A and B are shown apart, each in its own frame.
Chain A
């Protein structure tokens, strides 16, 4: 198929074939990232700007490395502290960066919809690196890529997403992507962290962790943001760990080869015990490795789509 989108805003907006196309492209970039010389000249002369309006270490680093390995010039800006506070609008900030002939804007923003808005306001490619509670499409893609490399075809897999579904963009991107590719998705959370209307996403819902783990091929364990969104909902961390923490004991009742994922950053002893995080079922670091390849694929595909449309 031909890729013809200049932007990646969310997995909701992609077809199954488009998602498959990105995952297939990721394969070839994965090979690049595992060589001793990790760089290809594919996008030499292109400029990518990382516009991070919300702090991030891993995603920002991953996008930066992905762009560099494609031979792009990269500019990383943490804007939370600069011009926004002086009253410049989001669109003005983006247009100013674009005016320096930047080809791709990678946008992380606390407000849902900010990348979608920018994609209409600029000609540059816009890649969503996480917007509010909305989507984090490259995370969803790298989770699927990791699952596929471990378990083969996603179709028919049983995947449980565990934790703060209500405030998680990772959960939403995973739900869209996995259901489009034919996985059976279960979400598991305390009732207060299940968002309104979640049943309409075509997922199974449970509040019982053992039920979510039993029979699952994979679990994706979300970060609990006690410092932000979850304080009212679930005041005690130890209580959360007791009810929803993934431990070795709980995994004993699971499939022996269950794949354990976490989008990071991880709170050891809250969502997951260290034994599980570092254990044989964990693919957490593999996810991080794959993240770079997925982002290379996305930067490459969107850039070439834009080129083709000129």
Chain B
């Protein structure tokens, strides 16, 4: 099937393109991009006037809970949630049950994803066996099995010695190392940001030092090594400052932020609503501001959702007892449009870069561009379309979003994965 997407504002940061143009998709590839492309015989034409035509989005941080917790998300349901949010590629975190910590498991999950996921779902592997932080996995083997990164996400690689070995090993294998920066000796049993709010609510706080002291360590250990370190879900100003400085000094470090961290503060925890409980926690106003600045100035490379589905019985309990994490695939685009573009923090090309070409480049995948010949992963979004995001709207198997009942602006209307039209008119096909 051929599709001709006409008169959209085509934004392709990888090629420095931002112009009204037509885009022709054919046989799973981008066949042509340019002005007034004549409609080939049999092609379906899509009028994209007033819309933005972008490379399909890439989320380098999702939990699809497979294997082990298919009751809260499956490859199918999670990938449908991704599609609805305009994503065509995702990187699955390995903190499943059991953890993806062997090449065999990585290979098996990759094959399963190929069958069950409706987007490109890539595999990552654990840094340490069982994510226990004690013994390295076969990092080179994981790479050979198709893993795009190693990470113990959900946990930090806390032991300095192990982390140093992991960095050298992943550098040797040429594989990205993603770290969840948290010194659990500092965060302890905390359940929210340590602040006036945690004192007011009488809850144990997670001091910001728990994050940024680990960011500092990761940067120091990466300095001078040819390693690729990526800092997951940056939540505080100090981390942004450290990463900015490190990049200036030439350290090979990249980083991401999640939409909830540049939208909400710990004030959102006021009613003990467990949909505001995540790790790292929601922080202060000045952190939100710092993350926005860091996204705009290139300190932070990518927007990643940290999509973390949890069932009602994991969340509808005391705040102390609730699981950490929120879903985010379906809301990331709208929240980014509302908080970043519509508030003048950054422009459309930068947002598209943060959502597509930048994470694609970090992961080294053939995505994130509208170049001729590239895979036809394309998202057409309406920057003005609105949606009341009710619990019934949620495509994920879990509904633990802090944005339930928000009026969202900016929606994916058409999504193509390898040239297949899987979202049409804003609806999953």
A91 lies within 8 A of B316 (CB)? yes
Within 8 Å CB of B313, what residues of A? 89
- A38-81 contacts to B, CB under 8 A, are none
Q: Which of B195, B198, B316, B318 counts the most A-chain CB atoms under 10 A from its CB?
A: B318
Q: Which of B272, B317, B320 counts the most A-chain CB atoms under 10 A from its CB?
A: B272
Flag B190-214 by CB within 8 Å of A: 1 or 0 each. 0000111111111101000000000
The complex places the Cα of A58 from the Cα of B393 at a distance, in Å, of 49
- In-complex Cβ contact of A195 among B199, B271, B318, B319 (8 A): B199
Interface of B is mostly: helix
A196 at the interface (CB under 8 A from B): yes
B17 at the interface (CB under 8 A from A): no
The complex places the Cα of A169 from the Cα of B203 at a distance, in Å, of 11
- Answer whether A196 and B194 are a contact pair too, CB < 8 Å, given A112-B319, A113-B319: yes
Shortest CB-to-CB span from A110 to chain B, Å, is 8
Task: Write the chain A residue with the least CB distance to B272.
Answer: A113
B317 lies within 8 A of A89 (CB)? yes
The complex places the Cα of A170 from the Cα of B122 at a distance, in Å, of 51
Interface residues on B, range: 20 to 34
Flag B401-425 by CB within 8 Å of A: 1 or 0 each. 0000000000000000000000000
Q: How many residues of A are counted as interface, with CB atoms below 8 angstroms from the partner's CB atoms?
A: 26
A112 lies within 8 A of B202 (CB)? yes
B43 at the interface (CB under 8 A from A): no
Shortest CB-to-CB span from B262 to chain A, Å, is 22
Task: Write the chain B residue with the least CB distance to A87.
Answer: B313
The complex places the Cα of A16 from the Cα of B182 at a distance, in Å, of 42
B1 at the interface (CB under 8 A from A): no
- Answer whether A112 and B199 are a contact pair too, CB < 8 Å, given A89-B317, A90-B317, A91-B316: no
A111 lies within 8 A of B201 (CB)? no
A235 at the interface (CB under 8 A from B): no
B201 lies within 8 A of A134 (CB)? yes
Within 8 Å CB of B225, what residues of A? none
A131 at the interface (CB under 8 A from B): yes
The complex places the Cα of A201 from the Cα of B202 at a distance, in Å, of 13
Shortest CB-to-CB span from B195 to chain A, Å, is 6
Flag B302-340 by CB within 8 Å of A: 1 or 0 each. 000000000001001111110000000000000000000
A132 lies within 8 A of B203 (CB)? yes
A interface, CB within 8 angstroms of B: 12, 89-91, 109-114, 116-117, 131-135, 166, 169, 172, 195-198, 200-201
B interface, CB within 8 angstroms of A: 194-203, 205, 271-272, 313, 316-321
Give the top 9 A-B pairs by smallest Cβ distance, nearest first: A197-B196, A134-B202, A113-B272, A133-B202, A111-B318, A112-B202, A195-B199, A111-B320, A200-B196
